[in-house]
Amino acid sequence: MSVDGPPPLIRIDRAEQLDRAVIGAVARGERRIVLSDGLLAAVAANRRAMLDDLAGDQPVYGVNTGMGAMSGVRLDADAQARQQNNLMVGRAVGSAPWLRRAEARALLAARLRTLLHPAAGASPDLCRHLLALLDADVVPAIPLRGGAAGEIIPLAHAGAVLIGIGQVLDRAGAAIDAAPALAAAGLSPRPFEAKEGVAFLEGVPGLTGLAILAAAETRALLTQITAATAASHAVLRASHDPLHPALADSPELADVLTTLRTLLNPDSPPIPGSAPGAGGVLAGVGAGRALQAPVSFRVTAPAIAVAVRAVAGVEEAVDRALGAVTDSPAHLDGRFVGTFGFAGTDLVAAVSSLSTALVHLAELGTARLHRLLDGALTGLPRQLSDYPGLHAGMVTVHKRAVGVTHRLRRFAMPALLGAMETSLGQEDVQSFGFEAAECLGEAIAGVRDVLACELLAVHQGNLLGAVVPAGLDRIAEVVPEGTADRAFGRDLDRIIHYLTFSST
C-alpha cells in the first residue's frame, strides 16, 4: 500500500466495473474499492433466494453432502454447520513458495468479483470481509504450486485466513500465523456460512488474477524487446529490408514494424506514399554489412506481433472468466447445478499460448545476441571484447542466455495436457491452472533475463564504436563505465531490476 496515504477510492455500482484494470490496480495497491449499497442489496437478494432453495431436502454437493468421492455421504445438521469452514482446513495442503503480495491480492480481488455473481449466492458480509482484508493489506500466504482439482488448494489457504487459522505474509514475504495479524489490523475471523465455503473454493480467481498482472507485465516487456531489437539492428548494421511496411500482414505486425523503423531513424521524414515511420530506414535498404539480415533479425518482428496477439488473447479470456459462472454447484434458476467453472480451460489455453510465444522470443533474443559477437557482421572486435584474447567480452554473457533459454523450453508445454484422475475416480480429469500461471511467470522472467544479456551486449558494442541511435542504449546509467571484463552478472542484475520496474 502507498506510504503517502491511502490510494484513491473507486465506487463499484455493478459487478462489471470490477474489471481487470481495476483488479490490477487493487492488486498493486494503487486503488481501493467500495461496493455501493445498491450492489450489496442485489447480492443480499441473491443470497436470500439461494437460501430459500437450499432449505429443502435435495442433496447439494459440498453443502449437505461430502465432496469428491464422499459426495454420496449425506451430512447431518451438526456436520453441515461445520462443513464450510472444514473445507478450508482439510484442503490447505500447500506450502512455500508463496505468491507475491500483489499476486495474492489479485486473487482476492478476482474472487470478490466472482462472488458478486448471482450464481454464487454469497452474502454481502463475506464480500465486505474480503474488502476489509484488501484495505488492511492483510495478505494470505497462498502457495504458488497449486496442485490439481482446479484451485481448491490455493483457495483453501486464502479461505483459512478469513476464519483465522491460516497464514499471512509479513513484509519480508515470510508466512506468519493469521490470527495475530488479523487482530493487529483490527479484524476478526469470519466463519463461512451456508454454501459460502464451496463458493469460495470453486472457479479460477487465482489464475485470473495472475493472468491480469502477467498480461500487463508482458505488454511492458514487449515494448522493451522491440527497443532492444532496434538497438541490436543498429549495432549489426543489418539490412532494413525486413522492416518494409508492405510486409505487415496484420495491424499488430504493422505497429511493430512502424515502431522499429521509427526507433532506428526517428528524425527522417516518411517516404511519400509509405506508411508512417517508413522514411529514412527504407532509404538505407542494402546499406548493412550483409546483403540480408540474419534470420533471427528478420523474424523477430512477426514473433513480437504473435506475442502481442497472445497477450490480447489472455486479456479477452480474463474478461470472459470474470463474467462467467465459476461456482459448482451454481445456483441457477432455482436449482443447484454442477458446472465446469473450476477448470478454467479457456484461460489455461490462452496463458499457455502466451508462454510459448515468449519462449520463442527468448530463443530469438539469444540468436540475435550471438550475431552481435561476430566481428565479421558488426565490424567490431570479436566477442565484443576490448582486448581480444585477454578479455572474453560478451561470449559468456551469451552462454548465460543460452542456459536460460534452454531451461525455458520446458515451460512451453501447454498446461492443458496431462489430465489425471483423483478422488478415487470421482474426478476423472484434473485441471492445472496454477501450473499455467507458473509457466508464464517463468517465461516472463526468463525473457527478461535474455533481454538483459542482449542489452548489455548492445551497450558494450556502443562503447566499442557501434552507431546506436540516441535513446536506444537504455542501460548506460545503470551499469559501470568501461569495457574491460568484470563480474558482468552484477551488471545483469542491475539491468533486470531496471527492466522490471520500467515500462520503456
Q: How confident is the model at residue 68 (pLDDT cuts 50, 70, 90)?
A: confident
Provide the pLDDT for residue 421. 79
What pLDDT score does 270 carry? 46
Comparing 86-100, 250-264, 302-316, 397-411, which segment has the lowest mean pLDDT?
Answer: 86-100
Q: What is the pLDDT of residue 387?
A: 96
**pLDDT band of 79, cuts 50, 70, 90:** confident
Is the peptide bond preceding residue 140 cis, with omega within 30 degrees of 0? no
- To the question of pTM greater than 0.75 for the whole model, the response is yes
Mention the CATH class of domain 9-201: mainly alpha
Question: 311 pLDDT band (50/70/90 cuts)?
Answer: very high
Alpha carbon 46 to its chain's center: 32
272 pLDDT more than 80: no
Percent of the chain clearing pLDDT 90 (strictly above): 79
216-242 average pLDDT score: 96
Residues 6+ apart with CB under 8 A from 465: 380
Residue 373 — φ and ψ, nearest 5°?
A: -85, -10
Q: Do 201 and 156 form a contact (C-beta atoms < 8 A)?
A: yes
Confidence of residue 201 (pLDDT cuts 50, 70, 90): very high
Instruction: Assess whether pLDDT exceeds 50 at residue 214.
Output: yes
User: d(Cα 27, Cα 113) in Å, to the nearest integer?
Assistant: 13
Record: fold of 213-239+288-412+447-500: Fumarase C; Chain A, domain 2 (1.20.200)
Residue 3 banded pLDDT, cuts 50, 70, 90: low
Give residue 367's pLDDT. Answer: 98
pLDDT at 423: 74
Predicted pLDDT of residue 285: 33
For the chain, percent of residues with pLDDT exceeding 70: 94
Peptide bond into 143 cis (omega under 30): no
**C-alpha span between 16 and 10 (Å, rounded):** 13
Q: Which amino acid is at 129?
A: H
Average pLDDT of the segment spanning 290-318: 96
Q: In the chain, which segments carry CATH 1.10.275.10?
A: 9-201
Name the DSSP letter for residue 204. -
According to CATH, where is 1.20.200.10 located in the chain? 213-239+288-412+447-500
* pLDDT value, residue 341: 82
Asked whether the beta carbons of 265 and 280 are under 8 A apart, the reply is yes
More confident: 4 or 440: 440
Give the chain's mean pLDDT.
91
Q: Nearest-CA neighbor of 258 among 285, 240, 234?
A: 240
pLDDT exceeds cutoff 70 at 486: yes
Q: Check: CB of residue 504 under 8 Å from CB of residue 224.
A: yes
Could you give the 3-state DSSP secondary structure of residue 330?
A: strand
Cell numbers representing residue 22 in the block: 481495476
